[in-house]
Amino acid sequence: MPHVVTDTFAHVMLTRRAALSGLLAGAVAVASGVVIAAAIDVVSPVDAVGSEVIDRSPGSVKAWAIEQFGTSDKTVLRLGIYTILVIAAFTLGALSARRRTIGTTGIAAFGAVGALAALNRPDQGLLATIPSVLGALAGIAVLHWLLRLATQTLHSAPAADDTAPPPDVAPFDRRRFLIASGATAAAAYTLGASGIALTKVRLNNLRRQASRPLPPLDRPVAGTPTGAQLFDETPFLTPNSRFYRIDTALSFPRATLDEWTLTIDGMVDRPLTFTYDDLLAREQVERTITLCCVSNAIGGPLVGNARWQGVMLRDLLEEAGVRPSAEQVFSTSADGWTSGFPVAAALDGRDAMVVLGMNGETLPIEHGFPARLVVPGLYGYVSATKWLERITLTTWDDAGYWLQYGWAKDAPVKTQSRIDVPRPSSTIEAGRHAVAGIAWAQHRGIERVEVSIDDGPWLEATLAVDVSDDTWRQWMIEWDATPGEHTIAVRATDKDGETQTADRADSYPDGATGHHTIQLTVE
């Protein structure tokens, strides 16, 4: 029955063309969304969905993603979303070979998801649904157009005269379909590339604003004080480009300097609002403070040390007049992220700051331009709000972003230490070697660091100059390495006399514990 074979073959070919049509329609939809979003300066549908995924996924998943992928977590998320979109577009296209409504409904559903996600973002409005809606419409139109060209009448074999194609269905024209597909791919590519280019323009505009130099300091701090740097691998001051970045923002919040203000409100006598220039006009101070992430695994990279320039938070709070009933300093970012810490931490004399500059430069966008908070001794998730817009004095009834996922309300940083040299799992030559690293216990300070080799006695390491209780301290010890496999462990003691516990705990819910331990081979 050659007829049936032809039919089946024709069906397979049709399904393939339909799948390709779906893929191309999906590409046009997504690329249109990106370019329209960039043109009208709203969040792109993919980023909106990504942000919703971040906010809606369980706390354990989020913590896992940060621990697994660290600062690449966003790239991984985007790749995930694009993979799902490709598979969905392909499948919807293939299914549309038989029923067009499947493709129409499918693309419309994706458009609806994008629109709802955008609408749900704290800093976005109705306008943000337009890229999803127009993108979906473009996708549906392209899908129908390509499917019409892809359709081959199955019984167009010359013998079957009585099943000749109905007059409105032209026989399949391979050349036309290929040209149309190629043109669609080119269009999707052009749209996507324009979207990326427009997004870059926006980013460059932001960067230009963030490159405005800060006023000079009366008393700048010494960059790296003599004796603070014991080894080269980890600089005492982490350059901005190497400073870890952790946040939930897929694209930078849309704030321009002329519109930006910082408001202090809630349980205060006088609510205050500052413009960027207001803050710059105030006395500028600079402090070196180590910032770390609660998600940092033992030995992990989510810690950095920088010189922060800005104004003291307590000065602003005193001007506003904090009411005695206020319990929490609750802050909100331009993208709706929140954090909060006890009022005491802002007023107990520690250098809690509204930060405008980092390591002598205007605060980079990645780290919170125009302004952010930095509070020595507290993890970033309860205190270090970037793209800061509002500081509200309130009670504990308000819960910051991560508290909703079960992370601790009370989050002082835990005393930690890390071995940076030699590298874990490396192979080194027998002989004398420096074992070195960093230790931090912000607001309490580092008193002592000890190293144990192959579970031997704890040997006291040499400490770098004590710059301040709020900064990390480098440490170093000489080791006569003998051939074989070795284990090196480190532990620190803070100035309260508290020594790091050996008990291993995950970072959830208030920071990891345990001794950083490395294995290496000596030849």
Ligand X SMILES: Nc1nc2c(c(=O)[nH]1)N[C@H]1C(S)=C(S)[C@@H](COP(=O)(O)O)O[C@H]1N2
Q: Contact positions toward Mo ion, by CB under 5 A? A: 246, 293, 380-381
User: Could you give the CA distance from residue 72 to residue 86 in angstroms, rounded to a whole number?
Assistant: 21
CA atoms 32, 38, 44, 45: torsion sign: negative
Nearer to ligand X, 17 or 386 (CB): 386
Nearer to ligand X, 54 or 436 (CB): 54
Q: Given candidates 110, 252, 330, 381, which one binds ligand X under the rule CB under 6 A?
A: 381
**Residue entry with tokens 């190293």:** 451
Smallest gap from residue 345 Cβ to ligand X (A): 15
Binding site partner of 245, from Mo ion, ligand X, none, Cβ cut-off 5-8 A by kind: ligand X
User: Could you give the CA distance from residue 523 to residue 482 in angstroms, rounded to a whole number?
Assistant: 8
User: Could you give the CA distance from residue 70 to residue 306 in angstroms, rounded to a whole number?
Assistant: 20
Nearer to Mo ion, 172 or 381 (CB): 381
Nearer to Mo ion, 410 or 429 (CB): 410
Binding site partner of 367, from Mo ion, ligand X, none, Cβ cut-off 5-8 A by kind: ligand X
Helix 130-150 to helix 174-209 angle, to the nearest 10 degrees? 160
Binding site partner of 486, from Mo ion, ligand X, none, Cβ cut-off 5-8 A by kind: none
Query: What residues between 321 and 380 interact with ligand X by CB under 6 A?
Result: 333, 335, 337, 367, 380
- Residue of minimal Cβ distance to ligand X: 380
Which residues, 6+ apart, have CB-to-CB distance to 443 below 8 Å? Answer: 350, 376, 377, 412, 413, 469, 470
Return the ∠ at Cα 10 (arms to 6 and 15), rounded to 5°: 150
Given the DSSP bridges, would you call strands 353-358 and 427-428 parallel, antiparallel or unpaired? unpaired
Binding site partner of 385, from Mo ion, ligand X, none, Cβ cut-off 5-8 A by kind: ligand X
Count Cβ neighbours within 10 Å for each residue of 297-307 and write b for 16 or more, e otherwise. Answer: bbbbebbbbbb
Neighbours of 405 (CB within 10 A): 18
Q: Given candidates 172, 177, 236, 244, which one binds ligand X under the rule CB under 6 A?
A: 244
User: Could you give the CA distance from residue 410 to residue 470 in angstroms, rounded to a whole number?
Assistant: 18
Contact between 6 and ligand X by CB under 6 A: the answer reads no
Binding site partner of 43, from Mo ion, ligand X, none, Cβ cut-off 5-8 A by kind: none
Binding site partner of 244, from Mo ion, ligand X, none, Cβ cut-off 5-8 A by kind: ligand X
Q: Which stretch binds ligand X (CB under 6 A): 233-241, 243-251, 282-290, 490-498?
A: 243-251
Nearer to ligand X, 274 or 387 (CB): 387
User: Which residue intervals of 372-470 are DSSP H helices?
Assistant: 380-383
Contact between 384 and ligand X by CB under 6 A: the answer reads yes
Nearer to Mo ion, 236 or 381 (CB): 381
Q: Are 387 and 255 in contact (CB under 8 A)?
A: yes
User: Could you give the CA distance from residue 235 to residue 339 in angstroms, rounded to a whole number?
Assistant: 29
Binding site partner of 247, from ligand X, Mo ion, none, Cβ cut-off 5-8 A by kind: ligand X
Long-range CB pairs of 222-228 (<8 Å, 24+ gap) are: 223/307, 225/465, 225/467, 226/465, 227/464, 227/465, 228/464, 228/465, 228/467, 228/474
Smallest gap from residue 36 Cβ to Mo ion (A): 33
Nearer to ligand X, 71 or 452 (CB): 71
Task: Give me the 278-307 binding string for ligand X, x by CB under 6 A, dash otherwise.
Answer: -------------x-x--------------
Tokens of 46: 């993919």
Tokens of 17: 């063309």
Contact between 387 and ligand X by CB under 6 A: the answer reads yes
Give the H/E segment covering residue 286. Answer: strand 285-292
Nearer to Mo ion, 249 or 451 (CB): 249
Q: Are 197 and 39 in contact (CB under 8 A)?
A: no
Nearer to ligand X, 25 or 363 (CB): 363
Nearer to ligand X, 44 or 383 (CB): 383
* DSSP label of 383: H
Contact between 236 and ligand X by CB under 6 A: the answer reads no
Smallest gap from residue 402 Cβ to ligand X (A): 7
Smallest gap from residue 73 Cβ to Mo ion (A): 11
Nearest to 268 by CA among 339, 335, 199, 320: 320
Nearest to 328 by CA among 356, 315, 347: 347
HSE toward the beta carbon, residue 490, CA cutoff 13 A: 29
- Residue of minimal Cβ distance to Mo ion: 293
Percent composition of the chain: helix, strand, coil (DSSP 3-state, to 5):
40, 25, 35
Smallest gap from residue 63 Cβ to Mo ion (A): 10
Binding site partner of 248, from ligand X, Mo ion, none, Cβ cut-off 5-8 A by kind: ligand X
Smallest gap from residue 331 Cβ to ligand X (A): 9
Smallest gap from residue 386 Cβ to ligand X (A): 4
Binding residues for ligand X, rule CB under 6 A, total 19
Tokens of 442: 């912000």
Smallest gap from residue 371 Cβ to ligand X (A): 11
Binding site partner of 36, from ligand X, Mo ion, none, Cβ cut-off 5-8 A by kind: none
Q: Given candidates 121, 350, 386, 491, which one binds ligand X under the rule CB under 6 A?
A: 386
Nearer to ligand X, 117 or 375 (CB): 375
Smallest gap from residue 296 Cβ to Mo ion (A): 8
Neighbours of 414 (CB within 10 A): 21
Terminal Cα distance for the chain, rounded: 73
Nearer to Mo ion, 381 or 479 (CB): 381
Chain positions contacting ligand X, by CB under 6 A? 243-249, 291, 293, 333, 335, 337, 367, 380-381, 384-387
